[in-house]
Amino acid sequence: MKYSLDRHEKYVLIILEEKKLNSLISPKLKSEMILMNAEGIRNIILDLSQVLYSDSSGLSSLLVGHRLCKNSAGSFIISGLSENVERLINISQLQDVLSITQSVEEAIDLLFMEEIERDLNRSEE
């Protein structure tokens, strides 16, 4: 699996450098996200702007990332979907489950807004 990582204080950006998110790539992506989560990373932005195709195992890896981040009170945001991948997500009715943005910049903004909201909720308790 070809990808690059951009680590920041509050999040990690994974840029998937593959054309297909399929059964060959998906298990590697899942294990990478599980390792990150085990290291204490709870906010992940996944840039799929280079991915042109995904199958059900690719969707599965997106749901794993979503669950890992949600269970650790974090955010999992996907950005840069191609038409084909977006169509698959819509057909699977996951567009309301997953956080999706057009660009990485929008994903970063959304992530920080969600962080602020979580901080406010904690301070009210």
**What is the per-residue pLDDT across 35-58, written as a single tens digit (0 to 9) for each?**
999 999 999 999 999 999 999 999
Instruction: Please state, in angstroms and rounded to a whole number, the distance separating the CA atoms of residues 82 and 7.
Output: 24
Helix count and strand count (H, E) for the chain: 4, 7
Task: Record the tokens describing residue 3, joined without a space.
Answer: 């990808």
Helical ranges in 1-125 per DSSP H: 26-38, 56-71, 83-91, 104-124
pTM of the model: 0.94
pLDDT(122) > 90: no
Contact 41, 13 (CB under 8 A): no
Q: How far is CA 4 from CA 15, 17, 47, 89, 108, in A?
A: 5, 7, 10, 24, 17
Residue 20 confidence (pLDDT): 96
